Structure 1
Amino acid sequence: MTTLKTTLLGLAAAGIVLGALAACSPLGALNALSPGKSLRTSAGVPYGASPRHKLDIYTPEQSVANAPVIVFFMGGNWVKGERGDYAFVGRALAARGYVVVIPDYRLYPEVTYPDFLDDSAGAVAWTAREISRFGGDPSRLYVMGHSAGAYNAAMVALDPRYLAKFGMRASALRGLIGLAGPYDFLPIHNPTTKPVFDFPNTPPASQPIHHVSKAAPPALLIAANDDDLVNARRNTGALANKLRAKGVTVQEVYFDGVSHTTLVASLAAPLRSLAPTLDVIDTFVGSDAGRNPGSGTAAAAR
């Protein structure tokens, strides 16, 4: 009875929050309602020459040393998005003891594929070089993203050419975390996406699923069963199967009750009753991407 009451209260709270999101900027509302404003933040740190080559760094409230690091790439179909919109992601993960880096990257029409992947790799390489100054451990570096950002994260993790441009090996990554990512989306049907990838001249090499090898890092792939924008089985399921076929450790998770967009929103404190997305990520990183499954989560160590 207590569990049922808790569930109903959580759903009611989620309904109130979702109503508020509909009335104003959804991501802005999530940021306003998310705790963690007291977390230490370094905003607008440059990692390259472009005005879009800036990143925000979220660190735990208490001083940390050698904490795992998560670089999070935002979604937006490669045509929109601002790093500040995802403060709720940085706060949620930093509250679990991680150092979180959220970069901007250049968008269409300023650039097309693969320029935003070069930006993403540049942000990761900068993090590997500099994050120790912010309490992060570069030897425990994860790439993560939602939607288009999950694509960016997957390409950086799976295609070694991008990090190699910055003198870094993909093997330096400790893990890949993808939320509702498009990993195999040819032919392109979305009219907004077509010019980003010069469709119908899009090369097969643009698809993460074609870069799977036994050298890939362990992966946590999360999707919504009711995703009506990115087919979960074709993308998340197929990538997970190819990784397993190469002997790569994969955790594949599907949630009911969330959509393509509310999957990432469930990281925000007001919407965590929708799905245990944050806990699943915490367990993955806290167990060293499954290498130490008995070690527990970072949260349990606090």
Structure 2
Amino acid sequence: MKARLMWIAGSLIVIALLGYGGLSYALRQNPHAVLDTVDRIAGPSGSVEQVAEASTGPHRQQRLLVYRSDDAAEALPVLVFFHGGSWAHGDPQHYGFVARSFAEEGFVVVLGGYRLGDEGRYPAMLEDTAAVVGWVHANIAKYGGDPERIFLGGHSAGAYNVAQVALERHWLEEEGVPESALRGVIGLAGPYDFYPYDSASTKAAFGSAGAGAESQPVNHARAGAPPMLLVHGEADTLVKPRNSRALAKALNEAGGRADTLFLPEGDHNAPLLSLANPWRRDPLVHDRILAFMREAAKVSVPVQPQTP
């Protein structure tokens, strides 16, 4: 009853904000911080809490936050999630809704940060992503996580980061992370095949650094890669869904595994929005990610690809 009352109260707040246009304005200014706030209000009160914060380098954006349920068992699988923002903006602090979404399901969740803008140009964003995963493998057991069952996830630019470090072997090798520890990758609305660069964000993050085709996840598809779940909105005009189709095709043809979930009317933020309350009442994306991780956490041998 208490949880339902909290959800009703949160929903009323959301409706009020919509009525005055406040939510729309706030979403334009800092959408993910708003999602996190609404999720806190509209979601049921739970036992998930931030238990640690750590730095992975001298820059303030090289940081990570660790979340877990305070009543969870030991040696839980780990989801390491990276935010989007065109490699120019974003803050892991604003993605607590992702942590709450999966920590309450029996995962330790780590929200990772990486350098942005000029300081984060290729390959710096990949160096920082790999450093977060390296920290997790070396330290997560202290917080009840299993360093041999790690999943990587991300939205948009963050989805690119995790796909590239998972496919291009040397990034995690240099951080001392064995490939066997990486059980799967979840990409939400990710760009995986965007060379030559034709947008302001990709020109700034990659073209200005002289990066070529080697920077593209689609060009590193290989047998033995961690299984992937690629979620994309069919109505995404910022990162077109052909990116997920191209990577899934390349991986499956190379002997790897890529499952896909395409949302018929979903835009660029739809896969991420669906992980926050009250939108999570439509559980399609959340439940598909959860099923993918639970299956892969138990086995290390890929199964046959699935499509909707």
TM over 0.5: yes
Structure 1 unmatched runs, 5+: 1-8, 294-302
Alpha-carbon displacement from aligned partner over 1:260-280 (angstroms, at most 9, x marks no partner) = 012211100211245611111
TM-score by length of 1: 0.86
Distance in structure 2 (CA, Å) of the matches to 1:133 and 1:110: 31
Structure 1 residue 170, shift from structure 2 partner: 3.2
Which secondary structure does the structure 2 equivalent of 1:52 belong to? coil
Are 1:262 and 2:262 matched, yes or no? no
Q: 1:124 aligns with which of 129, 133, 142?
A: 133
- The structure that is helix-richer by fraction is 2
Identity rate of aligned residues, in percent? 38
Q: 1:26 to 1:195 in 2, by over 3 A?
A: closer
Pairing of 1:234-245 with structure 2 (within 5 A): 235-245=243-253
1:32 matched to which residue of 2?
37
Give the letter aligned to residue 256 of structure 1: P
1:52-71 alignment, distance < 5 Å: 52-71=61-80
Equivalent residue pairs, number: 282
Cα separation, partners in 2 of 1:200 and 1:157, compared to 1, 3 Å: closer
Amino acid of the structure 1 residue aligned with 2:159: A
Residue identity in the other structure for 1:23: Y
Q: Equivalent of 2:235, from 191, 212, 226?
A: 226
Segments of 4+ in structure 1 off by > 4 A?
12-15, 289-293
**C-alpha distance 61-200 of structure 1, shift in aligned 2 (>3 A):** closer
Selected match of 1:276 from 270, 280, 284? 284
1:58-82 C-alpha deviation (Å, 9 max, x unpaired): 1023132111101001000000000
Distance in 2, Cα, partners of 1:153 & 1:200: 20
Counterpart for residue 297 of structure 1: none
Deviation at 1:221, TM superposition (A): 0.8
Q: What residue identity is the alignment partner of 2:67?
A: Y
- Please report how far the alpha carbon of residue 290 of structure 1 lies from its aligned counterpart in structure 2 after TM superposition: 8.4
- Asked whether the 8 Å contact 2:224–2:255 carries over to 1, the reply is no
* TM-score normalised by L of structure 2: 0.84
Write the distance in 2 (CA, Å) between the matches of 1:170 and 1:101: 19
- RMSD between aligned residues: 2.5
Aligned match of 2:120 in 111, 114, 118? 111
Could you tell which deviates more after superposition, 274-283 or 30-39? 30-39
Who is 1:299 aligned against? none
Q: Which residue of 1 aligns with 2:25?
A: 23
**1:231 Cα shift?**
1.3
In the alignment, which residue of structure 2 is the partner of 1:87?
A: 96
Q: Hey, what's the Cα distance between the residues in 2 that align with 1:255 and 1:61?
A: 34
Cα deviations by residue, 1:178-220 (Å, 9 ceiling, x for unpaired): 1111000012221132021125943110000111111201111
1:257 to partner: Cα distance: 3.2
